[in-house]
Amino acid sequence: MDDHKPIETVDGPAFESPGIGARRYETPPTGRPIDDPVAAKEAGLAHNEHLKIASRYLRGGLAEGLLKHATGAITEDDGQLVKFHGMYMQDDRDLRAERTKKKLEKAYSFMIRLRIAGGVVTPRQWLILDNLATTYANGTLRATTRQTFQYHGVIKSNLKRAMAAIDSALLDTIAACGDVNRNVMAATNPAQVGAHKAAYELGKTISDTLLPKTNAWREIWLDGEKVVGGEEEFEPVYGKTYLPRKFKIVIAVPPSNEVDVFAHDLGFIAILDKKNQLTGWNVTVGGGMGMTHGETDTFPRTAEVMGFCKPEDAVKVAEAVMTVQRDWGNRKSRKNARLKYTIERYGLDAFRAEVEKRTGKKLGAPKPFTFDSNGDRYGWTEGDDGRHHLTLYVPSGRIKDVENGPQFLSGLRRIAEVHEGDFRLTANQNVIIANVPAGKRAEIEALVDEYKLTKGAGALRRNSMACVALPTCGLALAESERYLPDLISELEESLASHGLQDDEITIRSTGCPNGCARPYIAEIGLVGRGPERYHLYLGAAFDGSRLSKLYKEDVEAKDIKATLDPLFADYAKSRKPGEHFGDFVIRAGHVAKTTNGPDFHTRTGALKPAA
């Protein structure tokens, strides 16, 4: 990873930036962001900035909008604020044309996303969430790439009922979306009991510490007590401005990188001793996936290792990193507002110095660590405490009953009724039936078999992810979740013809360049460009530590197999022992290696014809 080491130029100290050579960094701002709505407008800040400031701590017109029964929608401004409450307004795009023809309002509904730090839920919570899916949503639970659940198809008149059900499970949706710290992900490796416990506890503590303190969520959705009189509400960490954009934190435990630590704003990598006991955390900053097609000043970026901290300092470091981003982040241009751009703009050295100033402690030098993959471990494993854990493969995280196939919704409901442990969602959209006592394993196994639940899949399929995309996501340019299974079937045929059917290769698909399924760190990445058209990216590292490179633009869906087949053939013939596909296509000269950040957009395209 490039660490922005200073070099000398004729103009004095400068810094090396990946792909673009020596450059100067800007001087960081001082003080807190503008928190007056009029001043924010006059300063040319993004509309969302004065919207947040004037929202009365995220209330806006949401309470009044819920009472307007003549429409299934809410206002555009409230549509931005409702994200902080954990939901997005959407419509069924499959029905748009027909409803427009009939002069009907779009089929509006809401996606609701939960805050479940570390992805751990009890059997009781599972049953409540299952009932919510079939009562108020579209009959499915969806495990997301952020280690939580989301619901689709909740109509406006059912929002408060759904929120009450979530509250009864002792869960909430606060800050699952919006310009705040979002759901904190943590490693789920059940075999490393002590390390997982440390990762989960850190994730839960960070999530609670960095949670917005506004009472707006309980006031609006649960008819909670309102703030009255002269008492003014106060956000001690966020202030009136909250953050410039979303902020994502993950906790990783080597050797598994299933949380994709390098793809996020802030990460903690567990450093363990020979007995798997935690000694501290390497701290990573500046990762992020989103970009905009055709705008090279936007790009995905892998995080850099900023330093090492002791366990007792980790929460303070997390808050310091987030508040530096709060104060330094770009509030004029939302497309350049994430932490990755802040570090590109001001440099890692300056950022680290400010974090150390706010924590009052120097970070140590990073400790060595090794990742071997960013996928899940399927099937049964036994922890070092004698408990058993079963990881199930759930295609794209969609928990539903498949006709003539796995009965995920019914089966997991039945398991929740008898399970004595807990459930864990993974960052790869799968489900772990965790902490099964040895005496209950046979009963769980029997239910898994009865409902045809999948304890694995083919090598390519079990290393796949897809975002929701159409029909509900308003940003989707192409299909993803509904398309990827069929594409994998085609590619499995191609791989088998070259004897590669058992090779582990990561493949991920998204319907737009925002990158929710983290396609830019998949060995094969597909990013929607339009109906049945995708940009094809290759060359990322199997362990999630290196970005891919654009190999071919605007590939039609029908041509993806033919484009990849000669590369598979060359891989089968010329690879070195143990060499992964992403490493091979770079070594063999098919595609350039991406170092980081702006370098993502340089030297794109196939470097030589595929044989």
Q: Which of 453, 383, 388 is nearest to 415 (CA)?
A: 453
* Residue 467 annotated as binding site: yes
Token look-up 């996928």 returns 375
Q: Which of 408, 132, 427 is nearest to 256 (CA)?
A: 427
Query: d(Cα 485, Cα 495) in Å, to the nearest integer?
Result: 15
* Residue 512 annotated as binding site: yes
Please tell me which residue in 113, 387, 529, 546 is annotated as part of the active site. Answer: 113
Please tell me which residue in 52, 115, 156, 246 is annotated as part of the active site. Answer: 246
Q: Which of 77, 33, 30, 28 is nearest to 235 (CA)?
A: 33
Tokens matching residue 375:
């996928």
Active site residue 473: yes
Please tell me which residue in 146, 248, 331, 340 is annotated as part of the active site. Answer: 248
Q: Which of 207, 220, 120, 234 is nearest to 167 (CA)?
A: 220
Active site residue 518: no
Token look-up 């398991």 returns 415
Q: Which of 328, 332, 355 is nearest to 340 (CA)?
A: 328
Vertex 260, ends 383 and 374: CA angle to 5°?
55
Please tell me which residue in 156, 301, 387, 512 is annotated as part of the active site. Answer: 512
Please tell me which residue in 467, 518, 529, 546 is annotated as part of the active site. Answer: 467
Residue 374: CB atoms within 10 Å? 27
At 5 the three-state DSSP class reads coil
Active site residue 533: no
* Residue 516 annotated as binding site: yes
Residues 6 or more apart whose Cβ sits within 8 Å of residue 30: none
Query: d(Cα 254, Cα 239) in Å, to the nearest integer?
Result: 36
Q: DSSP state, 553?
A: E
Active site residue 552: no
Query: d(Cα 343, Cα 331) in Å, to the nearest integer?
Result: 15
For residue 103, which phi and psi values (nearest 5 degrees)?
A: 60, 40
Amino acid letter, 490: E
Helix, strand, coil % in the chain, rounded to nearest 5 = 35, 20, 45
Beta bridge partners of 268: 251, 283
Tokens matching residue 423:
């459930």
Task: Report how far apart the first and last C-alpha atoms of the chain are (Å, whole number).
Answer: 32
Active site residue 309: no
Active site residue 182: yes
Please tell me which residue in 52, 115, 182, 546 is annotated as part of the active site. Answer: 182
Tokens matching residue 24:
């100067």
Q: Which residues sit in the known binding site?
A: 467, 473, 512, 516
Q: Which residues sit in the known binding site for siroheme?
A: 516
Q: Which residues sit in the known binding site for [4Fe-4S] cluster?
A: 467, 473, 512, 516
Task: Tell me which residues are annotated as active site.
Answer: 113, 182, 246, 248, 467, 473, 512, 516
